[in-house]
């Protein structure tokens, strides 16, 4: 609104309402100024703390720690690469010794053995369930005969 429009608009309000609005705005302005002052104070404190940390060289220590972590990670990576290469060589030697076709056949036989083992395990579990049912039935019959 232009100043003239604002003046015209405010003349429609009663004097009591204008006073109330001004007091409300005055209070809000005071709260905003306090909040701004606190924010500025916090910013100065953080800036001071950052300066102290820089002066003590904590930043350099962090960089050194990160470099050490990187060095350890690189060493671990190199170790894992060596292990991987050794495993590749071992498998290659095994394929040469046994033959590639024989190795594939052994892997398929291993898969079939694992499947059979799982089937037998399910069969055993089913049989154990049947045995439990039979035992419960026998106990029930014995309890009837005893009564």
Confirm whether pTM is higher than 0.85.
no
CA distance 144 to 142: 5
pLDDT tens digits for range 20-39: 888 888 888 888 998 899 98
pLDDT number for residue 94: 63
CA distance 147 to 144: 5
pLDDT number for residue 58: 52
DSSP letter, residue 20 = H
Residues 51, 54, 59, CA angle at the centre, nearest 5°? Answer: 145
pLDDT number for residue 112: 92
CA distance 93 to 27: 85
Kindly state the greatest CA–CA separation across the chain.
110
pLDDT beneath 70, residues of the chain: 57-63, 93-103
pLDDT number for residue 100: 61
């Amino acid at each position: 609104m232009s100043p003239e429009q604002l003046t015209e608009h405010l003349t429609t309000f009663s004097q009591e309402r204008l006073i109330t609005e001004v007091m409300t705005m005055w209070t809000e302005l005071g709260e905003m100024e306090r909040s701004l002052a606190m924010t500025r104070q916090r910013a100065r404190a953080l800036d001071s703390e950052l300066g102290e940390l820089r002066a003590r060289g904590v930043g350099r220590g962090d960089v050194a720690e990160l470099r050490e972590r990187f060095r350890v990670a690189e060493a671990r990576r190199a170790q894992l690469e060596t292990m991987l290469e050794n495993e590749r060589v071992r498998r290659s030697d095994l394929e040469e010794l046994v033959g590639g076709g024989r190795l594939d056949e052994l892997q398929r036989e291993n898969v079939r053995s694992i499947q059979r083992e799982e089937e037998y395990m399910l069969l055993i579990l089913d049989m154990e369930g049947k045995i439990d049912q039979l035992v419960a039935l026998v106990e029930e019959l014995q309890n009837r005969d005893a009564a």
